[in-house]
Amino acid sequence: MKRSYSAFAEDIPPYSGPKAARDSYADLKQLSTIPGHIYTRPELQILPGQRRFSKVPWLVSMLELLPPTSIGHLKEWGLPTVFVLAKKYNKLVHVWESVMAMAELWHPQTNSFVFPEFEATILLEELEILLGLPCYQRGEEPTISYTVEQINSWSILEYITTKKTDLYTMTSGMHVHLLPIAQWITSQCKRKTTNYTAIAKAAAICICGVILFPESDGTISFGNLSIIDSIYEGMKIGQAVLGFLYGGLTSAVLGGPFYGSVIALELWMGMHIQFRAVKDLTTECKTMLNHPLAYVGGRLHMSTRAWCKTAQVKGIQAWRKYLRNLTVADFDMRPRFMHVRIIHLPQRTGLALRLLGNDALVSYNPDRCYLQCGAARTVVPLLSHFPPIQERKRGDVQNERDMRSAVVH
């Protein structure tokens, strides 16, 4: 799936650096003045009761039946971390108070968290490492996965089963039901069939639907199904996952439902805000035992023998107070897993990069988070790896159209 994108002359002035970001931050509209923002409605409870993040009883039992060959396919497609998180999913405990308090700081136009002294966001490079997804490299623009046309879900699911009764059971409206797919996997594994690739593809739909694209109770959209299907072809899905999470955060802060990978958000919060690796600790951090980092922290240089900086923060009010007074010193700008990593920035101020999601283009502004990016580790590409690039300002016609699109979505 390819899309043409604009090329620019070589004499374009380079990214103007931290000063422009600081000036822009000073002019940023306060969250309390954004119409309908959840920041001004503390009584609105939107996250804890969402069934889309409840336990999935069929998931672990289905994964335990997978043959080694099918598991090998999942690892080849870049999903080993997602597979581990899925196997441990029912053991994870979401701290909704921290997630909700964090979401309240999300700015829907800059797509960043606004703290008293700085802005921060979930960088694409961070998300790819946190979730163990295949990382983008310069020159691989054609391998970025996104959806540009109507999806024929049956053409994707027919690789798993050609029985029309199964296909009717697996789909309804514009969504795909995960439980019938899991039941099909279970039946194939118990019959000891050798259709290992089809089993792996079906398992990928289930684990990605639960970990990367949780949207509604036990279903995923046709667009996300298409994104998952592209994994088998070696496509990079990091942009789609991050764009979907950005869209979910924007929806939540404007009073809509929250969707997207809450596990990715909790991993990001854990590395930057909640935990800090300490060499000499001999006891395990009890707070981390049911946190996603307990199962995938090793590759991020984080073990359960860590210091929890937020151990005394309990309840939604305490989390609000803590996060709304967070200082630069309390936020780990450069976790160890991001050392020597290259972070891509736009060519100059005013050029918005857009994450190619499955339903809409989502603006991506890493240059605003200059403390996260760090000038010493920043490479300014001649041409952005997020096509298409577009000149953009907050408050202009295009920006307002994007905002209305986000609210509708």
List of residues 6+ apart from 369 with CB closer than 8 A = 21, 112, 118, 119, 120, 121, 123
Task: Write down the pLDDT at residue 50.
Answer: 44
List of residues 6+ apart from 139 with CB closer than 8 A = none
For residue 65, which amino acid is it? L
Task: Write down the pLDDT at residue 30.
Answer: 72
Task: Write down the pLDDT at residue 57.
Answer: 85
User: In 53-164, at which residue ranges do the beta strands (DSSP E only) sit?
Assistant: 106-107, 112-114, 119-120
For residue 407, which amino acid is it? V
- Residue from 79, 122, 111 nearest 212 by CA: 79
0.85 exceeded by the pTM? no
Residue 171 three-state SS: strand
Task: Write down the pLDDT at residue 13.
Answer: 41
Task: Write down the pLDDT at residue 204.
Answer: 92
Average pLDDT for consecutive 10-residue bins of the chain (409 residues)? 31 50 66 74 59 73 92 92 91 86 88 88 90 72 51 73 78 83 90 90 92 83 83 83 88 84 92 81 76 83 79 88 90 81 65 56 77 59 42 55 48
Task: Write down the pLDDT at residue 155.
Answer: 74
* DSSP code string of 187-245: HHHHTT-S-HHHHHHHHHHHHHHHHT---BTTEEEHHHHHHHHGGGGT-B-HHHHHHHH
Quick check: 260 and 214 in contact, CB under 8 A?
Answer: yes
Task: Write down the pLDDT at residue 199.
Answer: 92
